[in-house]
Amino acid sequence: MTKDEKIVVADMTKSMVKPRNILLTLKEHNDNNYTTIKQIYNVRHAYRSSIRGSNIKMQQLMMLLDRHQYIHWHRLKDDNVVRDLFWSHPDAVKLINSCDLVFLIDSTYKTNRYKLSLHDTVGVTPTGMTFSAGFAYLEGERFNNVVWAVEWFRVKTVFLDATNLLCQFHIDKNVKAKCKTLVA
């Protein structure tokens, strides 16, 4: 891949263009281009690594949260490992503070490469529109982790009198998993 093609890939990556569209663009500009999708991924990875510099991915995330003025808090374990991280967009905070809203809270279970739960808080406006109110990466779905995230979300009462809507799928899955450990 030529230097000019790498610059095109970097520019298109900045513009959030999908790799397959980057490849099509390169091939449209040069009929003799034999670039593969793997090469596109490699150049994109090298470009992103050059932007990040010596920062690890979590440091880069924290820097971007600061740069874009997100509201965020974190707590550490072992003095240098992020245990829990909460963040919310400034416009979401303005909307949260503007009127009474209903909030729905959900967590995924360790589906990312760091094996952290993603805690998602969605707000529902009086007009029925939804918006992402806040997110948190949590070390686990234990009560104290969720309470920490909700407290940073500034909810006055933490689950004490809240109505719980439980997902039947997750209930069944957890019951089966618990039964397997008891029977086995």
Round to the nearest angstrom and report the end-to-end CA distance of the chain: 56
| One-letter amino acid of 168 | Q
What integer is the mean pLDDT of 1-21? 92
Per-residue confidence band for 11, with pLDDT thresholds at 50, 70 and 90: very high
Q: What percent of the chain has pLDDT over 70?
A: 89
145, 77 in Cβ contact below 8 A? no
**Model confidence at 164: pLDDT above 70:** no
Confidence band for 25, pLDDT divided at 50, 70 and 90: very high
pLDDT band, residue 184 (cuts 50/70/90): low
What are the pLDDT digits (tens) for 64-96? 999 999 988 888 888 778 888 899 898 888 888
User: What is the C-alpha to C-alpha distance for residues 64 and 11, in angstroms, rounded to an integer?
Assistant: 19
Name which residue leads in pLDDT, 135 or 160: 135
What average pLDDT does range 151-175 have in this prediction? 61
- Provide, for the chain, the percentages of residues in helix, strand and coil under a 3-state DSSP scheme, each rounded to the nearest 5: 45, 20, 35
Q: What is the pTM of this model?
A: 0.63
Q: Do residues 85 and 70 lie in contact, with contact meaning Cβ atoms separated by under 8 Å?
A: no
Residue 128 vs residue 178, higher pLDDT: 128
Please give the pLDDT value at position 167.
67
